[in-house]
Each structure stands twice: as C-alpha cells, then as structure tokens.
Amino acid sequence: MVCGYFLHHVCFIGYLILFVSLKARYIVELHDWLMFRLTGRWALSLATISGEWSYVSEWGGWPLDLLEVLDLGDLPERWPADVLSPGQLVGQVTSEFSMETGLPLGLPVA
C-alpha cells in the first residue's frame, strides 16, 4: 500500500534532486540529519521511512518498482544505508556538538 504522503515526499524529493541537491551526498528527513549532527553517523529511522517512504522490511525495504515508475530509481542511493529500529542506539554526542550546544560529551543518542 502506498499512501498519499509517500507520493508527496517523492514529488518533493524529485524536485530537490532536479533543482537543489544535485551535489548532496544524502537526502534525509530533519531528525535523521539531527542524529548525524549529534553523533556524526548517517542513519535512517525505521519509524520514519516506513511511515513516510513506504519502506517495508518484510518486502525488501524500499518500493523500488514505484520509484522506477516515477523516474526516481536512483533515489535509494541517496539515502544512508543504516536503518535503525526505534530506540536503537545511534551513537554518542560528539565533542564538536557538545562544545556547540553544551550537551554532555558521550551522551547516548537513540
């Protein structure tokens, strides 16, 4: 099942790829970017990608057939490979982010 929210995201990401982010290494949701800033690790939240991107682990992950039809077949290459379950440890607050924000160095991030 593909929801309208997914199609909205696909159209928006298609726009980003075409006009804005051709040089971007990854395309992620805001909280995935925040996890990267906190820990230095690129990863995706399973809760987000299953709800917003129709990712279904039991079906092999990404809806590749649909992405191909939408001419976005290479989009999964623009997403980080690590997919984390809710509550799974992403890493720890880096020294850089600790100095910028005052958060304790080494604070676990999940």
Give the pLDDT confidence of 76-99 residue by residue, as tens digits. Answer: 888 999 999 999 999 999 999 999
Of 75 and 96, the one with more pLDDT:
96
CATH code for position 84: 3.30.420.40
Query: What's residue 1's pLDDT?
Result: 47
How far apart (Å, rounded) are the C-alpha atoms in residues 108 and 110? 7
- The residue ranking higher by pLDDT, 25 or 33, is 33
> Which of the 8 DSSP states describes residue 41?
-
Tell me, what's the pLDDT at 100?
A: 95
| pLDDT beyond 70 at 13 | no
Report the number of distinct structural domains present in the chain: 1
Contacts for 94 with CB less than 8 Å, ≥ 6 apart: 38, 39, 40, 105
Integer Rg of the chain from CA: 15
- pLDDT tops 90 at residue 33: yes
What residue numbers bound the domain in which 40 lies? 4-109
More confident residue, 80 or 52: 80
Banded pLDDT at 28 (limits 50, 70, 90): confident
